[in-house]
Amino acid sequence: MRIAFGLIRPDSGSIVIDGKPMVFTSPADAIGMGIGMVHQQFAMVPAMSVAENIALGGHGRYSFNRIAQRLDAVAKTTGLSVDPAASVATLSSADRQKLEIIRAFTHEARILILDEPTAVLVASDIRELFAQLKKFASHGGSVILITHKIEDALQHADIMTVLRRGRLATTASTHDSTRNSLLTAMLGVVVPDAGVDKPSRSIPSHQVISLKGITIRGLHGKRQIHNASAEVQAGEIVGVAALEGDAAGLLRVIAGRAITDSGQVSAPPVVGFVPENRQEDALAPFSLLENVALKDAGRRTGLIDWRKIRELTASIIHQFDVRGAQPSTPVPNLSGGNQQRFVLGRELENHPAVLVLENPTQGLDIAATTAIHARMRDARNRGTAIVFYSSDLDELAELSDRVLVIEGGAIQSVAPDRDRIGKLLLGMSRKQS
């Protein structure tokens, strides 16, 4: 799709639009032909405002009022809105994703390419997005939806195309496709449905995290958690369910990356941490070797043993199946799934007592997701306490031993039942589990 958007030159083959061969030297050529692309990794300038980012790639003199009016028109037709004056750096991941989608609509594209557009959206925004995409298609537009969520594809797409290892695995109409047929095409083998049998788990042994009467505020002073308590045992996976943005404070307090307004927090001094935005918060655009060397740099002294670091990097690459990589490989050369496997491997290599993960499988394909889940379970069974947030309730129910639900500033521990979690998030049930 990057070739179709003019970001990459093809080594061979052709791009044909309306029966005419095209040569794109840049995204500007593609935009001129009515192609818009929403990238999985955000393609915005954080230091600029929403309106300024919308203006990039346009023509004529910049006018905040004109762009604000355009954003208002898009909001009225799509239900997706972002403050035009807000700095992109202050936006949550969900709002940045909305902005990417809104920008494509403001450029009046007739062919929309969307790369995992629902990865960080809540259910209401996802419904609005697909409703608008169907409306767009019904008026003559074309939508290419890249997604690893098979249910979304089966529900909304007309035609399915599966690529595996760079080759076309299958193309079929949705009516002729099933979950199992798509899984077989994606993985090359028939796999059982996920979640039928939960893998065995270790028995929690002792408390490693204690939160007593904590209060946490998020962006703009909004109180996410008020006077709440919870604990986590060694050898268990604890999922965290929350509305968009409400879990970040809790996870980062546990990981030692943030502090509470009040209350007591007891956790190990060193906690493994896999943030949601791996490009900005977990990785530098250097080699894998250098990224391993940077871990815990603030706590180390003396000279770096590069031979040891190289051996450790090679071990992480091998053990966590970071494909097509070697220690000297630059991080930007890896796919999202391989980047995530590498970050997880780096955080697990010293067997931490606690591992905190934010949306660990966001935007990953089924094979990568399965691998990440397996590594999390292995770490739990070795005694690591794992705390993870996921915007996917099915993932929380499948992977967690229990779930902490954040709603109305309170934290409630419940069994990993999807319906129960969903009702609590919506404030429909406040009874103790």
pLDDT digits (tens, 9 = 90+) for 19-74: 999 999 888 888 888 898 888 767 788 899 999 988 886 678 889 999 999 888 88
Nearest to 211 by CA among 410, 6, 4: 410
Q: Identify the pLDDT of residue 122.
A: 63
Q: Does residue 432 surpass a pLDDT of 60?
A: no
Q: What confidence tier does 431 reach under pLDDT thresholds 50, 70, 90?
A: very low
Q: Identify the pLDDT of residue 42.
A: 72
What are the chain's domains? 15-146 (3.40.50.300), 207-425 (3.40.50.300)
Q: Does residue 430 surpass a pLDDT of 60?
A: no
Contact 146, 114 (CB under 8 A): yes
pLDDT, tens digit, for every residue of 250-264? 999 999 988 999 999
Contact 147, 153 (CB under 8 A): yes
Region of 213 on the Ramachandran plot (φ > 0 left; ψ -120 to 50 alpha; else beta): left
pLDDT, tens digit, for every residue of 310-353? 999 999 999 888 988 999 999 999 988 889 889 999 999 989 99
Region of 81 on the Ramachandran plot (φ > 0 left; ψ -120 to 50 alpha; else beta): beta
Nearest to 80 by CA among 50, 47, 44, 55: 50
Q: Does residue 99 surpass a pLDDT of 80?
A: yes
Q: Identify the pLDDT of residue 252.
A: 92
Q: Does residue 433 surpass a pLDDT of 50?
A: no
Q: What is the pTM of this model?
A: 0.64
Q: Does residue 119 surpass a pLDDT of 70?
A: no
Q: What confidence tier does 203 reach under pLDDT thresholds 50, 70, 90?
A: low
**Token duo for residue 353:** 């007592």
pLDDT, tens digit, for every residue of 6-22? 988 999 999 999 899 99
The overall average pLDDT reported for the chain is 85
pLDDT, tens digit, for every residue of 258-317? 899 999 999 998 899 999 888 888 899 999 999 999 987 777 788 889 999 999 999 999
Strands 20-22 and 15-17: antiparallel
Q: What confidence tier does 121 reach under pLDDT thresholds 50, 70, 90?
A: low
Q: Does residue 174 surpass a pLDDT of 60?
A: yes
Q: What confidence tier does 420 reach under pLDDT thresholds 50, 70, 90?
A: confident
In terms of pLDDT, which residue wins out, 93 or 211? 211
Q: Identify the pLDDT of residue 383.
A: 92
**First CA to last CA distance, the chain:** 46
Contact 157, 164 (CB under 8 A): no
Neighbour count for residue 398 (Cβ, 10 Å): 17
pLDDT, tens digit, for every residue of 370-419? 888 999 999 999 999 999 999 888 889 889 999 999 988 899 999 998 77
**Token duo for residue 362:** 């966001």
